[in-house]
Amino acid sequence: MTNRLDTAAATNLGLRAALVTGATSGIGWHLALQLADAGVRVVALGRNRHKLAELSRLKPCILALEADLADVNSLPGLAMRIGAAAPELNCVIHNAGIQHNVRVDDEGYDLRAIEEELDTNLLAPIALTRALLPALQSRERSWIVHVSSGLAYAPKRTSAVYSASKAALHLFGAGLRLQLRGTSVRVLEAVMPLVDTPMTLGRGRRKLAADEAAAALLAGLSLPGGVFHIGQARALPILRRVAPGLLARLMSAG
């Protein structure tokens, strides 16, 4: 079991206020709660207003904001609301994600659904990062964390667009890391295994519990930067190097 972030660890890191997208379920829900337990001010974004209200009731230090990240025109205003709500913001965790488990030629999978995936999974993290970056750069230490998966490296047969969005986010993070080298901003990518969340309902076995995934991600904040793998995803770098064909077959089945 991964040790939970505690108040002493958060203080030692200099973690003051954090943004968590996709906070109303799964990994994001536990990220928000664990950060709050460690005394960190949390801005929690999500679309489910009832779950957001529950978060705020559970932890008064969580400010819950209802937001649809697929509404790209609202993102500049959303970034201003986040900055006003958390002037000490120094950690941004891009956790929100949408995966349509379909073939591209499936009936009903239209341009609107494709745009929803790309806007939520890729455009929103880029746009929010750009808007919040000046504030993050002004901090003594800050973090930008992308929640990723093995599908960024080998696609799933029935999630081509989701896989493409994660691959693009991986490269965006790598490019951003180059740009911010030597600054106070650490750019991290947390590669998850199959995690027990609403997105993976009915899929796979031996899933990592969402609270364990959240704890492992927060433990990764102590790393200097770059890509780190959680749980069974630690096998990915080895498979990519010595058995890429096997990795492709494993990931394609989802």
- The Cα 194–Cα 182 span in angstroms is 33
Please enumerate in sequence order all residues whose Cβ is within 8 A of that of 114, keeping only pairs 6 or more positions apart, or say none: 161
Distance from CA of residue 125 to its chain's centroid? 9
User: Of 172, 176, 181, 88, which Cα lies nearest the Cα of 135?
Assistant: 88
- Give the residue numbers annotated as catalytic, written as ranges: 162
- The Cα 225–Cα 189 span in angstroms is 8
Residue carrying the six token digits 């740009």: 179
Residue carrying the six token digits 């965006």: 172
- The Cα 194–Cα 78 span in angstroms is 30
- The Cα 72–Cα 76 span in angstroms is 8
208: tokens are 């990592």
H-only helix segments in the chain: 7-13, 26-37, 49-58, 75-85, 111-118, 124-137, 160-179, 210-219, 236-242, 244-253
Strand partners, 43: 19, 63
